[in-house]
Structure 1
Amino acid sequence: MDFIEGLPNSNTRNSILVVVDHLTKYGHFLALMHPCTAKDVAFKYLNQVYKLYDMPDSIISDWDQIFAIQLTPYEALYGQPPPIHMPYLAGVSPAAVVDRSLQSREATRKLLMFCLKRAQGRMKHFTDKHRSERSFQEVIRKVGAVAYTLQFPPHSHIHPTFHVSQLKKHVKNHLPVVDAHGASPKEPIRIIDRRMVKKGSQAVTEVLVKWANSFPEDATWEPLTAFQTKFPHFQP
């Protein structure tokens, strides 16, 4: 559970309460008016989420300042901790249909948890290969651990807060060269990779090209035949 704040007003609302189910990734996006209280959030959660799914086993949040009382929305609303979910034990219900249904639900839940943890481990393994510590200067403020608010002109209509993955390090005197029309000429400097793709009924070779005066992430896939025609003297 988290908040998106500082949005332009829409029907007197300028914030969004985001609630995502950790298991199924199903999300709810609830409009709020900032500033709001823990009681406001609890009522919104009760009316939009609790009525559909009951109380979750746990709530993961960054403990926004509105939760200074260190209580979950359930505790703030009802004055007591939420009930603990107990897994169903086979044979507890005397009704055979109910017993089979609940056993099936528990089996499905265990399978989902297994697949979720396996997927999380796989995603973390591959993502960690591309992660690095980053910090930025000349920004207004840091929002959480992975976002920054930049200083834009007053008339700008772009939201100034960006995830760290959307930002690039500024390197002085490293601006791309442009022609008289403001366009940057593209000159290849290296072939990074090759691949075969299907276009229509034919297999076509494409090459991943690193361009001069550009960042590594700006490399593009180009058809090999068209690339050789445009740059006949290029030697990879």
Structure 2
Amino acid sequence: MDFITQLPVSNSFDSILVVVDRFSKMAIFIPAYGTITSLELAQIFVSHVFSKHGLPVSIVIDRGSSFVSSFWTNLCQQLKISRDISAAFHPETDGQTERVNQILEQYLQMYVWLASKNIKTTRPTKKLSERWLGPFEVIKKVGSHAYHLKFPQQWKSVHPVFHVSLLEQVKQSSIPNRHQLPPPPALVEEQEEWEVAQALDSKLKRGKLWYLVEWKGFRKDPEITTWKPASNLTNSPDVVKDFH
């Protein structure tokens, strides 16, 4: 049993209490507050866990002020529940809950597309000239109509706060990893540069060497492969080396 804290406020809640059954691996997610007291925690446990599943034989919990309070200890004694507090040097004691927490935190992350109309881009082909860039993770809300986005290091020259009218929420598939979204392009000298995945072919055109390339994030898509002069692949020496 553990908490995920410091989440964006939703219906006045800013945390989630995660309870995992060690036998069935079933998880219960309960909205809570970061300032929860031991009394409130006991009431939540009775309302959401005991009322549906009865009393557990034992509880594994992370060390924390709300868990180790005298009230919680007395409550467990009255209910004949054995408390096993995770040792400071053995955090794996509550490893099941930690793993569930990691998965839940991934689902809680919000990603958005960013409209490209106000950002200069140099696309390798018109077919890559999408109306939206990204997806990007939302870090926080700024004011009432803007959001702060998490950009890759290459985008450090771009101001990361955008009005909501320039954003569109990413609709993730219900099946994990079913559709891998293409990564955002890198920025080289404040210009957008799409990464080359591999070279498929080469030819001489007017005495200059050209390569047929696949773009990272769009591999195995014949409609996206394009011919580019060798001078455009100066930042991809490994791709050229692998081709030859």
TM range (shorter): 0.3 to 0.5
Between structures 1 and 2, the one with greater helix share: 1
Higher relative CO (Cα under 8 Å, sequence separation at least 6) belongs to 2
Between structures 1 and 2, the one with greater strand share: 2
Output the TM-score relative to the length of structure 2.
Answer: 0.39
